Amino acid sequence: MLGRLALVVASVLFTLAALEIGCRLWRGPEALLDWSNIVLEDRRATRAAGAGRLQYDPELGFVPTQVYRPTPAPAGLALAEPPILIVGDSYAHGDEVSDEETWAALLKPLTHRRTVNAGVSGYGLDQIVLRAERVAHELKPASIVLVFIAEDLRRSEMKRVWGAEKPYFEPGSGAPVLRNVPVPPAPEPASTLDLAQRLFGWSVLVDTVLKHKGWQYEWAIDHERVLPRGEGEKLACPLLARLSGLGVPTLVVASYDPYVWVDTVYAREQRRLSAVVLDCARQAGFGTLDLFEATDLAVSKLGPAAVFRSSHPGPIGHRITAERIAAALTGLHIPPSR
């Protein structure tokens, strides 16, 4: 009996070893020589990528080293004050396009008003609201445009995203309670690995299987969850109600990542979550805009590659966003421009 068990274990181990070698050969011969921990290297790379453009902030976790992203305007264009304040995640910031291609820059000639792009890549809805509060007190804007994707709700369930600590809100009997402030500095990537990541993080076989199943993101990206799944969705209404306390005309805009046009099940969930946030925005007295139909029309006509870059809208996507937001802002009663 023990002999048969040993034979089965040996066969399984041999098969796994053969699959590991096969996966490494498939990735390239150099993978046979590099047996470093893939999860740890990914986390170190994420830390290095943010080092030049993000810095620690004790209230928000991290903020851009460049306070606001520049939003160039055509020469000679007279722009009204006070400005339109833009907040949100990377879809507000304008990742993967140049300054002049961002919808924040394209919005200027459409509204004849200065825009201030305070979007921050990687933010959750909680950080977006906190940053809007901070910057609005400083700028006294004519209006706020808050752009989100459904993923921002999940980020609100975390105390650490992309390896950086962040504030978060816990549901309370009344208003949600702000936690993890002052925000601790980011931990060293090696200290964030759990036991499974230490034991199997080096395996190209594990990495390949997880990527194929769509689970590699949860496995490799350094997010630390503190709230149960779904709590971010429940926080949407309290967070937007808090934002309404600023008394600034606000437009809340639902944007969508390109995977919505790849996976129909994923698309349904993203649209459901976006609808939840937009409904909360309406309850808070804000204007709302859902970019799905306009983006879907462009994707149908031109194809996803024409509308998106790798993970964010390209120039065409930004132009569509600017035009739709400019039209929606007319209903917010912004003071007339010069």
* Residue 200 pLDDT class (50, 70, 90 cuts): very high
Report the alpha-carbon distance of residue 226 to residue 157 in Å, rounded: 6
Q: Which of 129-143, 216-230, 302-316 is predicted with the least confidence, judged by mean pLDDT?
A: 216-230
Q: Tell me the residue type at 294.
A: A
* Residue 173 pLDDT class (50, 70, 90 cuts): confident
Residue 24 falls inside a structural domain: no
As a whole number of Å, the end-to-end CA separation of the chain is: 89
Residue 291 falls inside a structural domain: yes
Residue 7 falls inside a structural domain: no
DSSP state of 182: S
Residue 285 falls inside a structural domain: yes
Mean local confidence (pLDDT), 5-32: 90
**Interior/surface letters 276-285, b for 16+ CB within 10 angstroms, e for the rest:** bbbebbeebe
Q: Tell me the residue type at 57.
A: D
Mean local confidence (pLDDT), 19-31: 91
At residue 36, the 3 state secondary structure works out as coil
Mean local confidence (pLDDT), 313-327: 97
- What is each CA distance from 299 to 3, 13, 253, 304, in whole angstroms? 60, 47, 19, 5
58 and 47 Cβ atoms separated by less than 8 Å: no
> Residue 200 is part of a domain; what is its CATH number?
3.40.50.1110
Question: Which residue do the tokens 């997880």 mark?
Answer: 210
**DSSP letters of 193-232?**
--HHHHHHTT-HHHHHHHHHHT-HHHHHS--EE-S-TTHH
Report the alpha-carbon distance of residue 193 to residue 227 in Å, rounded: 19
* pLDDT at residue number 328: 95
- What is each CA distance from 124 to 3, 81, 149, 239, in whole angstroms? 54, 29, 9, 11
Residue 277 falls inside a structural domain: yes
Mean local confidence (pLDDT), 140-145: 96
Mean local confidence (pLDDT), 219-226: 91
Question: Which residue do the tokens 């055509």 mark?
Answer: 74
Domain encompassing residue 180: 38-331
Residue 19 falls inside a structural domain: no
Is 336's pLDDT higher than 60?
A: no
Range 190-194, long-range pairs (CB < 8 A, 24+ positions): 190/40, 192/43, 192/160, 192/163, 192/222, 192/224, 193/37, 193/39, 193/40
Residue 29 falls inside a structural domain: no
* pLDDT at residue number 338: 44
pLDDT digits (tens, 9 = 90+) for 34-47: 999 999 999 999 88
What phi and psi, each to the nearest 5 degrees, are found at residue 233?
-65, -40
**DSSP letters of 68-105?**
SB-----TT---EEEEEEEEESHHHHTTTS-GGGSHHH
Is 204's pLDDT higher than 50?
A: yes
Cis check: omega of the bond before 182, within 30 degrees of 0: yes
pLDDT digits (tens, 9 = 90+) for 241-263: 999 999 999 999 999 999 999 99
Residue 12 falls inside a structural domain: no
* pLDDT at residue number 333: 66
Q: How many domains are contained in the chain? A: 1
**Percent of the chain, pLDDT > 90?**
82
